[in-house]
Structure 1
């Protein structure tokens, strides 16, 4: 497939984005990456509008929440598999003590609001924008995907209880769909 001058090949075992000369667009995980037991970073995200700021650490105070990240709103894997899985399992997850399910992406709040409407997430999953990749950078979970505009968030899921990360699943290739799906979340 050719998108904006880049040729892509999909691999079944570990999907990777590769340009025409074979250069990978993914970066290795560093030793600074957040881990279970760490506090969720104190960063500002946005819901629906640039004026509606949400602090993830404050949001998780006294609660158990699920946070999962996707590389981009409206992208195929995110729109067909990742987000819909959490939407369909939201009642089941909330019955197990989860107060909120949050989807984060390096997009602007208007895009995330449109995606929430398109995916019918109201009352099930909140979509928060990380327009400057503040959360992704603070957790050292960024990946450079040039065809999507550059720095994005790696695909991951985590459980946060009262501001502390109690479970974290980062996709081994940063963008695949295996360990971060709704049916794989470790409550």
Structure 2
């Protein structure tokens, strides 16, 4: 599993924008930026839709006021689902990034097999990244939601 002080792995994450599909190279997207990246097991799932994403939407201005350039949500879903979920949650201030094949999630060592629920998904976590290096990493225990909350991350910035 990735640890604080390590650089993010090479990976591509997709984002469906008003201009079309954008395939971001993680290292380029986060270069020379302070980023809050949080991951959810699945778009439109209960805790993710009722608490995790809405917390970051609500606190986006306060988080950005702490010098954060990008707030990004990543999930092992496709870019079409991530765009629809972001729109349904009024997440226009966030980047809704898709890790369709779970390659980024696996490279971080933060994947989990949910078996019949959805297969390979991401563990729930939040990290602060500065110029591609993880400076804070909060990974939730299974079925927990405390360490990766927007309020928790805001307090750490």
Q: Under a length normalisation based on structure 2, what TM-score does the superposition of the two structures give?
A: 0.93
- The structure richer in strand per residue is 2
Structure 2 match to 1:171: 140
Task: Give the deviation of 1:176 after TM superposition.
Answer: 2.1
Q: After the TM superposition, which parts of structure 1 deviate over 2 Å for at least 4 consecutive aligned residues?
A: none
CA deviations 1:48-87 (Å, max 9, x no partner) are: 1784101222111111000000000000100000000000
Counterpart Cα distance in 1 of 2:118 and 2:30:
30
The one of 78, 95, 99 equivalent to 1:108 is 78
Which residue of 140, 151, 157 corresponds with 1:183? 151
Once the two structures are superposed, what CA deviation does each residue of 1:20-69 show, in whole Å capped at 9, x if it has no partner?
A: xxxxxxxxxxxxx0000000111000001784101222111111000000
Aligned residues: 153
Which has the higher relative contact order, 1 or 2, with Cα contacts under 8 A spaced 6 or more apart?
Answer: 2
Alpha-carbon distance in 1 for matches of 2:45, 2:13:
20
**Paired residues for 1:53-132 under 5 Å:** 53-122=23-92, 124-132=93-101
Specify which structure has the higher proportion of helix: 2
SS at match of 1:148: coil
Distance in 1 between residues matched to 2:111 and 2:117, nearest whole Å: 13
Q: TM-score, normalised by structure 1?
A: 0.79
**Residue segments in structure 1 that go unaligned for 5+ positions in a row:** 1-32
Distance (Å, rounded) in 2 between the aligned partners of 1:164 and 1:136 = 16
CA root-mean-square deviation: 1.3
The structure whose Rg is larger is 1
C-alpha spacing 1:176/1:147, structure 2 compared with 1 (3 Å): farther
Structure 2 stretches lacking a partner, 5+ long: none
